[in-house]
Amino acid sequence: MTVVLSTKLSIPPIHSELVPRPRLIKRLHGGRKGRLTLVSAPAGFGKTVLTTSWVKESREPVGWLSLDKEDNDPLRFLSYLLRALPVAGDTIDDGAIDGLAGQPPPALSELLGKTINQIAAHQTPFLLVLDDYHVIQDETIHGLMQYWLEHQPDPMHLVIVTRTDPPWMLARLRARGELNEVRSRELRFTLQETSTFLRRVMKIDLSAEQIASLDNRLEGWIAGLQLLAVSLQGRRDIDGFIQSFSGSHRYVFDYLMEEVLQQQPADIEDFLIQTSILQQLNASLCVAVTGISDSHQILIELEQSNLFLLPLDEEREWYRYHHLFAELLQGRLAHVYPHKVAGLHSRASTWFEQHAFLERAVIHAVLAGNFNRAAFLVAQNALAMIDRPGLKNIARQMDALSSDVLQRQPWLRVALAWVTLYLGRLGSATLHLQAASQALTHLDDKRLAEEKHIRGHLAAVNSYVLAFQGEMGPAVKSATTALDLLPQEDGAARGMSAMILGTALRWQGDLAGAEEALLRSRAINRSAGNNHVMVFTECSLAEVQIQQGRLRQAALTIARVLEQQDSQQKGDPNRRFSGKGLAYARLSTLELEWDRLDAASNLAQKGLDNARYWGQMDVLITCHLNLATVLQAKGEIEAAAAEIERAKQLAAAVSPWYQAYAGVFEAELWLANNELDKASWWAEKSNLRHDDEPDLKQISGYLTLARVLIAQGNPSQATSLLARLRTVAESSGAIGYVIEAGVLQAVAWQTENEDASALTALEKALSLAEPEGYVHTFIKHGNAMAKLLRNAVAAGIATTYSTGLLAALENRSRYEVPTDPLQLDLLTDREMMVLRLLATNLSIPEIAGELGIAPSTVRTHVKNIYSKLDVHSRFEAVTKASESKWL
Amino acid sequence: MTHGREFDIPGHYRIRVRGVLDPKWGDWLDNLALTVGEDETTLTSHVQDQAALYGLLLKIQSLGLPLLSVERVVPDEDLKE
C-alpha cells in the first residue's frame, strides 16, 4: 500500500505556531452558507495554512483531498474525491467507488448523480476541501466539477484552494451569492499581522520603524516574511540587513534565500539542494539520494527550524518542500552542481523502483536522461501499463519524443509493441518487433542476459500476433520459446506467455494441454501478483471448462477471479483492470446458457462498457459478439446486427482470421432471422465444406455450416458432418461441443422424419447436458426442439429435464422487448462511430487515427454531433447519448 | 493571412515582471535572456509554440512574480540573444 494515498486524504498537520487571523476565519465562516468557498492566490500566501486552521476549528466533519499532477485522470480524480467525502462510512457505499473502475465517462456523471442524492438524504452538513486544484488541467474533470457544483446537495460545502481560478462559471455563483472568496488581497499580512509574526512567533525584537520598512518591501507576502524571519534569527547587524534588504529591488525570495542558505552549515545546504529534486521525501529516500546517513535527524531539524519543510502525515515519515522553496533550490542545484543532477535522479529512480513506486521511478529515470532505463521500466511493466494509466501516458510521451537515440532503445520498442498489440494494431506491433530486433544488433556484447530477456518479450508479443491471425501452431511454438527465454523474475511476461500458450492450444483442440499451460500461468500470476494477466488466464481457463462441458466449474473460476480483483482494488483507487470486460462476457455466456436472460444481458453490457473504455481490441470484439448473442436470444435482431457490425469493423482492422470469426456470428444471426440466402452465401464464401474432416479450431464455423445445411434442406449432409464433428470433439474431451453437435443431429434427423435416430441423438445430448443444466443450447432451436422434447417426454427420456426445457422454451417465445423508440437515425453512421469514440478517453487525433480520417474531419463531425444533440461539450454529448442508450 | 500556422513555429516573446531577477534564473526558466530595470525584469524567450509559451508563463507564475506584460515580437525583428 503506497503511503501516498494516506497523505492525500489527511488534513495537513499544522507545523508551527501561527499568527491568529480571526478576521479571515470569520470571513470563511460567513461564507459557509453558500456552495463554494474559493481560496485563490499565487504561491506563498498562506492559503493552505489558513484553510487548515479554519477546518480544524470547524465542528462539522471535514474531508480533505490534496491534489497532484497525476490526478488529471477523471477516474482517478473521482475515485479520490469519493473517498475523501467525510460522510459516515455506510452512506457512500464502497460499491459505488469500486464500481467506478472500468466505467466509461457517461457512467461517471450517473455516479455523481447517485452520490449527490445520497448526500442530500444524509442531512449532516460537512465540508470538502480540494487543495492545489490548480494542478488539474483535464477538461473532463473541470466539466464534472462544474456539474457537481450545479447539483451540489445542501449538506455539502466545497472549498477549493488554488493558485489559479478554476475554469468554472464562477460569475454565476458570485451573482447568486453562492461563492465566498478569499484572495491575495485578503490573504496578505497586514502590518499588524506582520508585527505579530515577527515579535511573537519568531521572537525577533524589532522596532516599529523596522517592521514598517519590512512590511513596505514584503507587502504582506507571507512566504517572503517567513524566509526573512529565518534569515534574521541569530543575525547581529539586523538594522544594516533591513536597510539593504528594503532598499533592494531584487526578487525577494531570491535575495532572502541566498541569505538563509549562506547561514546554513555546508552539509545542510548540500542536503537541501540535493533533495530538492524530490516531490516527496522521507529519511530512507534522502539517504539513498544524498548518501548522508543522518538524513532523518536533518529532516527533523529542518522542520523545526521552519525551513519550508512540511510534514505530510502525523507520523512525520513523509515530507515535502514548500513549492517555491523547492523551485528555488532546484534552480540553485542547476547552477551550483549541474553535473550532479543526473546522478541524483538516478539514485532516486532506483530507490523508487525498489519500493514499488513505479511511476516515480520512471519519471526520475527520464529526468536523469537515462532513457534506456526508463524504457526498460516501462517495458517491464508494459503489461501492467493497462492497469496504471500513468505509465501508459509516459510511454506515449516517450514515443512522442522521437529522437533517434530514443527510438533505437530496444526496451522502448518492446513497450510500444505491447501497447500497439493490445490495441489490435498488428501492423504497428510487428514493425516495433522488427525495430526491436534491429536495435538488439547494436547492443553491447556484455548485455547478453538483457538481450535474452528482450528476445523473450519479442517472442511473447509474436505469439500473440500469430494467435490473432489464427496461426495457432506457430503461436504455440513462439509462446514456448518465450517461456524458455524469459527470466524467472519477469512474472508478468511469463504469465502472459503461458496464457497465450494455453489459449492457442485450446484453439487447436488440445484441451488437456491448454489446461496444463493455463494452470502454469495461474501459478506464475499468483506469485507475481499480475492483475489483468490473471483475469485473461482465468477467463481462458473458464473457456476450456466451458468447452469441456463443465459449466458450473467455469462459473466458479470466473466468480473467483472477479472477487479477487474487487478485493485488491478496494485498497488502491489507482488500479483498474481491463480484463474484467472479458470476465463479464464469459459470465454472460453462462447466464445465457442457463436461460437467465436479464442477467446475461446486464453482464454483457457491463462487459462491453468496460472493454470499450479500455480499448483492448480482442476483449472488445469478444464483448460485442457476446452482447450480440444475448440480444439475439432476446429476439432483438436489429440490435444484435448492430453489435455484430461493430465487431466486424473492428475485426476487419485486425486480421482476416478474426474477421472470419466474427462472420460466423453473423451467419448465426441470419439463420435466426430466417435469412437463408445470406446464410447460404456465408457458407459458400467460407472455406468450410460439408465433407471436410473438421478440426476443433473451426468447430463453431462447422456447427453453423451444419445449421445452414439443415435449413437448406440437406439434412443428411449435415448429419454426416455432425457425426465427424462429434468424434473430433469427443476425442478432445470437448463435451460442450459434443452436446451441441448431438442436438443439431437430432434436429437434422427430425427434418427427415427419422424420429428414432433423432430421439437417440437427443437422449445422448440430454444425459450429458442435464448435470450442468444446459438450456439455451437446446431451446435456441425453437419449434423443432419443442417437437423433439415432447417426443422425449412421451418416451420417458429425461422427463424432468425435458419438461423443464419445454417450459423454458415457451417462456422464451413470449420474451419480447420493445425496440428503442428514439430516433436512431438522427446521426449518420459515421457520426455515431465518432460519438462512440468520444465516449472513450481518446483524443481527437487518436479518434482520427482509429477511423483513418483527418483530425479536422473528426472535428467537423463533432461539431455536427453537438448541434444535432443540442449540446456544447464532449462531456454533455456523451452523457446525453448514454441516457438515450445509444452507447 | 495564415490562420494558426505562424504560431506553430518558434517565436519571440517579451515578458515583463515586477521585481529584479538574478540572471541565473534565465537557466531555470529554460534559457531565457534577462534584462533588468529598476524594479522589473524583462525576459526574452524563444518559445517553440503557444503551448511552450503557456508552460513558461506557468513557471513564472510559480515564482509569484506579478506579470506586467506579454508581448509577441514579430519574427523578422532583430533580437539579441
Summarised one tens digit per residue, pLDDT across range A47-94 is: 999 999 999 888 888 999 999 887 887 777 887 888 788 865 444 454
Report how far residue A439's alpha carbon sits from residue A458's, in angstroms, rounded to the nearest whole number: 12
Tell me which residue in B21, B39, B64 faces A42 most closely, judged by beta carbons: B64
Q: Angle at Cα B31 formed by Cα A164 and Cα A257, nearest 5°?
A: 65
**What is the DSSP pairing of strand A126-131 with strand A62-66?**
parallel
Report how far residue A462's alpha carbon sits from residue A475's, in angstroms, rounded to the nearest whole number: 7
Q: Residue A14: name the closest of A277, A211, A186, A201 by CA.
A: A201
Task: Indicate yes or no: CB of A334 within 8 angstroms of CB of B19.
Answer: no
- β-bridge partners, A789: none
Residue A817: the pLDDT is: 38
CA distances from B2 to B6, B7, B8 (A): 7, 9, 11
Q: Give the residue ranges of chain A where pLDDT is below 50.
A: 1-4, 89-92, 94-95, 98, 102, 573, 816-824
Report how far residue A328's alpha carbon sits from residue B56's, in angstroms, rounded to the nearest whole number: 16
Hey, which residues 26-45 in chain B have their CB within 8 Å of chain A? 27-28, 38-39, 41
- DSSP, collapsed to helix, strand or coil, labels residue A881 as helix
Task: Indicate yes or no: CB of A248 within 8 angstroms of CB of B39.
Answer: no
Residue A127: phi, psi to the nearest 5? -115, 145
Task: Indicate yes or no: CB of A335 within 8 angstroms of CB of B39.
Answer: no
- DSSP, collapsed to helix, strand or coil, labels residue A309 as strand
Contacts A248 to B, Cβ<8 Å: 20
Residue A91: the pLDDT is: 44
The radius of gyration of chain B's CA atoms, rounded to the nearest angstrom, is: 13
Tell me which residue in A163, A248, A251 faces B21 most closely, judged by beta carbons: A251
Q: Residue A581: name the closest of A543, A535, A540 by CA.
A: A535
The radius of gyration of chain A's CA atoms, rounded to the nearest angstrom, is: 33
Dihedral (C-alpha) A722, A727, A728, A730: value to the nearest 10 degrees? Answer: 120
Q: Maximum Cα–Cα distance for chain A, whole Å?
A: 115
Residue A884: the pLDDT is: 59
CA distances from A508 to A469, A476, A722 (A): 13, 9, 19
Task: Indicate yes or no: CB of B22 within 8 angstroms of CB of A250.
Answer: yes
Q: Which residue of A has its CA nearest to B40?
A: A249
Helix, strand counts (H, E) of chain B: 2, 4
Contacts of A652 (CB under 8 A, 6+ apart): A658, A659
Report how far residue A545's alpha carbon sits from residue A327's, in angstroms, rounded to the nearest whole number: 58
Cell readout for B78 is 532583430
CA distances from A100 to A68, A74, A399 (A): 20, 10, 29
Report how far residue A661's alpha carbon sits from residue A712's, in angstroms, rounded to the nearest whole number: 22
Cell readout for A376 is 526498460
Contacts A183 to B, Cβ<8 Å: none
**Identity of residue A50:** L
Residue A34 CA neighbour count, 13 Å, CB half: 21
Q: Residue A281: name the closest of A312, A305, A314 by CA.
A: A312
Report how far residue A483's alpha carbon sits from residue A333's, in angstroms, rounded to the nearest whole number: 46
Tell me which residue in A221, A324, A334 faces B27 most closely, judged by beta carbons: A334
Task: Indicate yes or no: CB of A250 within 8 angstroms of CB of B38.
Answer: no
Q: Per-residue pLDDT averaged across B20-24, rounded?
A: 78
Report how far residue A277's alpha carbon sits from residue A279's, in angstroms, rounded to the nearest whole number: 7
Tell me which residue in A251, A330, A331 faces B19 most closely, judged by beta carbons: A251
Task: Indicate yes or no: CB of A327 within 8 angstroms of CB of B22.
Answer: no
The answer to whether the CB of B56 falls within 8 A of the CB of B26 is no
Dihedral (C-alpha) A36, A41, A43, A47: value to the nearest 10 degrees? Answer: -50
Residue B21's CB is within 10 A of a number of other CB atoms, namely: 23
Cell readout for A705 is 455450416
Q: For the ranges A311-320, A493-502, B41-50, B70-79, which has the lowest average pLDDT?
A: B70-79
Q: Which residue of A has its CA nearest to B26?
A: A331
Dihedral (C-alpha) A367, A371, A375, A378: value to the nearest 10 degrees? Answer: 0
The answer to whether the CB of A669 falls within 8 A of the CB of A641 is yes
CA distances from A236 to A205, A233, A474 (A): 12, 9, 82
B44-62 core/surface letters (b: 16 or more CB in 10 A; e: else): bbbbeeeebbeebeeebbb
Percent of chain B having pLDDT more than 90? 10
CA distances from A731 to A24, A118, A120 (A): 82, 57, 62
The answer to whether the CB of A257 falls within 8 A of the CB of A328 is yes
- β-bridge partners, B46: B12
- DSSP, collapsed to helix, strand or coil, labels residue A870 as coil
Place of cell 455450416: A705
Residue A637: alpha-carbon gap to chain centroid: 32
Task: Indicate yes or no: CB of A254 within 8 angstroms of CB of B27.
Answer: no
Residue A103: phi, psi to the nearest 5? -95, 140
Place of cell 518479450: A457
The answer to whether the CB of B72 falls within 8 A of the CB of B11 is yes
- DSSP, collapsed to helix, strand or coil, labels residue B35 as strand
Contacts A331 to B, Cβ<8 Å: 24-25, 27-28
CA distances from A346 to A202, A219, A290, A334 (A): 39, 41, 11, 16
Cell readout for A621 is 470484439
- β-bridge partners, A309: A321
Residue B80: the pLDDT is: 42
Cell readout for B30 is 529554460
Hey, which residues 49-78 in chain B have their CB within 8 Å of chain A? 61-65
Task: Indicate yes or no: CB of B22 within 8 angstroms of CB of A323.
Answer: no
| B3/A contact by beta carbon, under 8 A | no
Q: Per-residue pLDDT averaged across B3-31, rounded?
A: 75
Q: Maximum Cα–Cα distance for chain B, whole Å?
A: 40
Residue A208: alpha-carbon gap to chain centroid: 59
Residue A4: the pLDDT is: 44
Q: Which residues of A touch B (CB under 8 A)?
A: 42-44, 163-164, 221, 223, 248-254, 323-324, 327, 330-331, 334-335
**Identity of residue A564:** Q
Report how far residue A89's alpha carbon sits from residue A107's, in angstroms, rounded to the nearest whole number: 22
Query: Residue A673 burial by CB count (10 A; 0-12/13-18/19+): exposed, middle or buried?
Result: middle
- DSSP, collapsed to helix, strand or coil, labels residue B75 as coil
Place of cell 530538492: A276
Report how far residue A213's alpha carbon sits from residue A219's, in angstroms, rounded to the nearest whole number: 10
